[in-house]
Amino acid sequence: MNTTESPTRRTFLKTSSLVGATTILAPHIARAGAPNNETLKIGLIGCGGRGTGAANQALRADDNVVLWALADAFENKVERTLNGLKAGFGDKVNVPAERQFVGLDAYEKLVASGVDVVLIAGPPGFRPQHLRACIEAGKHVFAEKPVAVDIAGIKSVLETAKMAQAKNVSVQQGFCWRTSPACREGFAKVLGGEFGRITSFYGSYLASPVRPLAPDAKKPDGMGDVEWQIRAWINFEWLSGGPLIEQCIHAIDKLAWTMGDKPPVAAIANGGRAQLTGISDQYDHYSIAYEYPNGMFGHINQRWLNKCHSENISRVVCEGGTFFGPWNCYIDDPDGKRVWTYAAKDGEEQDMYQVEHNEFFAGLRSGKHVEKLEQMANSTALGLLGREAAHTGKRLTWEAFFKSTEDKAPDDLKFGDDFPVPLPPIPGMDKLV
């Protein structure tokens, strides 16, 4: 854990001002007032399943785009993504060997390769660095969630958001439920007051573990700590943020949506390791109560446990009814009678992942910006507030959290570096940095 301030991309950059940083402007496609039909060159950072999916959706979103460059820490992932997309899109995939970038610095080479739009889908621990590099270079960005794994990353991303606004570039979010037609219609009803005052929120994300390491897993001989952990990134908090931040952040974002994207006063939380053993430093369950002004509470329940009940349900409780989502969206009145059920409209795209990219590229063509980075940072910070409340065992205020300085990893790590996995936090002993 790094508790000192250093001049990295994940902390505030005090060596340059926003004014100086705006000399590189976005491509004129975003500044034009009229539709633009230039071929847009797309680059993908992070060639895992979600990154490949995002590239697929971007290529479908616009008739005049081309996949121009790929970047990942590992060569086999670049090859797999390239082969899969070539099979599906033919000439819309133009990524010769010289634009296939591999290594921890691959993102920098991709940004410099002539791309117009960058899709960011690498491990979340690198997202603040990737975002800063893209926005500094004036690229339009689609960024997967979450955008950081610690408060240092949040502060960096908020600075990057200001830079994006100054440069007039678009940043589309990966909080996909915000583009779900069903969720949009349901949230519009409850946020618009159709069912009276909102009184509380309860979101659950109860699932089995995702790609867990075996309890006896060990780093292979001859491999550095950093490379091994990146290969199994979802198991380590400095890379994934933990299951609350990597996966349950969707439920937390719906809490933020419910509360008008306003911050809470504080959070009180529990968490721990019920089944998880072995080398990972993460918890496998959290229960969080967020305190909001006017006596409102938001509750989040997360777990990664085998052989247990599973559900992913968000509930917005109003005086006159409760909205249930996100998969099947409906509203029941206080007596349990169904009073509204979402019905898809003819011809309307229902795939929320595709809607993200359709709206993103339509905005680039029309000059109507999509700028969601600040919102993404605040939703991620909401999750981190709850995580740190559980880790410390304290009632943690939003104000105190933003005064903290935790930075889980330096930005200049190399594959071969020694980087031991820390012990899991112990409530009552772990301190807010």
Indicate if 367 and 337 belong to the same structural domain: no
Indicate if 136 and 252 belong to the same structural domain: no
Indicate if 58 and 186 belong to the same structural domain: no
Q: What angle do CA 299, 243, 311 make, to 5 degrees?
A: 55
Residue 11, domain member (yes or no) = no
Indicate if 222 and 145 belong to the same structural domain: no
CA neighbor of 372 nearest in space, from 177, 129, 174, 181: 174
Tell me how far CA of residue 279 lies from CA of 197, 229, 359, in angstroms.
46, 10, 42
Return d(Cα 250, Cα 160) in angstroms, integer.
22
Residue 165, domain member (yes or no) = yes
Residue 6, domain member (yes or no) = no
Single-letter amino acid code for the residue at 111: V
pTM for this structure? 0.92
Positions of E strands within 159-197? 171-173
pLDDT tens, position by position, for the chain (433 residues)?
A: 333 333 343 433 333 333 333 334 444 454 333 357 899 999 999 999 999 999 999 999 999 999 999 999 999 999 999 999 999 999 999 999 999 999 999 999 999 999 999 999 999 999 999 999 999 999 999 999 999 999 999 999 999 999 999 999 999 999 999 999 999 999 999 999 999 999 999 999 999 999 999 999 999 999 999 999 999 999 999 999 999 999 999 999 999 999 999 999 999 999 999 999 989 999 999 999 999 998 999 999 999 999 999 999 999 999 999 999 999 999 999 999 999 999 999 999 999 999 999 999 999 999 988 899 999 999 999 999 999 999 999 999 999 999 999 999 999 999 999 999 999 999 999 999 8
pLDDT digits (tens, 9 = 90+) for 407-416: 999 999 999 9
Return d(Cα 302, Cα 283) in angstroms, integer.
10
- 48 is in which domain, residue-wise? 18-177+354-372
Residue 426, domain member (yes or no) = no
Indicate if 51 and 195 belong to the same structural domain: no
Instruction: State the pLDDT at residue 25.
Output: 45
Q: For position 293, which CATH number holds?
A: 3.30.360.10
Residue 131, domain member (yes or no) = yes
Residue 9, domain member (yes or no) = no
Indicate if 62 and 167 belong to the same structural domain: yes
Indicate if 41 and 56 belong to the same structural domain: yes
Instruction: State the pLDDT at residue 10.
Output: 41
Name the 3-class secondary structure at 235.
Answer: helix
Contacts of 368 (CB under 8 A, 6+ apart): 362
pLDDT digits (tens, 9 = 90+) for 118-146: 999 999 999 999 999 999 999 999 999 99
Indicate if 254 and 364 belong to the same structural domain: no
Instruction: State the pLDDT at residue 79.
Output: 98
Instruction: State the pLDDT at residue 164.
Output: 97
Contact (Cβ atoms closer than 8 angstroms) between residue 357 and residue 172:
yes
Strand 396-397: give its sheet, edge to edge: 338-341, 330-332, 321-325, 311-318, 198-207, 297-304, 285-291, 266-272, 396-397
Question: 245's torsion region: left (phi>0), alpha (psi -120 to 50) or beta?
Answer: alpha
Contacts of 223 (CB under 8 A, 6+ apart): none
Tell me how far CA of residue 288 lies from CA of 200, 303, 356, 373, in angstroms.
13, 12, 29, 24
Q: For position 114, which CATH number holds?
A: 3.40.50.720
Indicate if 251 and 187 belong to the same structural domain: yes
Instruction: State the pLDDT at residue 290.
Output: 98
Instruction: State the pLDDT at residue 345.
Output: 95
Residue 393, domain member (yes or no) = yes
Contacts of 52 (CB under 8 A, 6+ apart): 44, 80, 81, 84, 85
Indicate if 148 and 113 belong to the same structural domain: yes
Report residue 104 as tokens. 């921890």
pLDDT digits (tens, 9 = 90+) for 319-366: 999 999 999 999 999 999 999 999 999 999 999 999 999 999 999 999
Contact (Cβ atoms closer than 8 angstroms) between residue 286 and residue 386:
yes
Q: What's the domain count of the chain?
A: 2
Indicate if 37 and 143 belong to the same structural domain: yes
Indicate if 58 and 157 belong to the same structural domain: yes
Taking the mean position of all CA atoms in its chain, how far away is CA 157?
12
Residue 220, domain member (yes or no) = yes
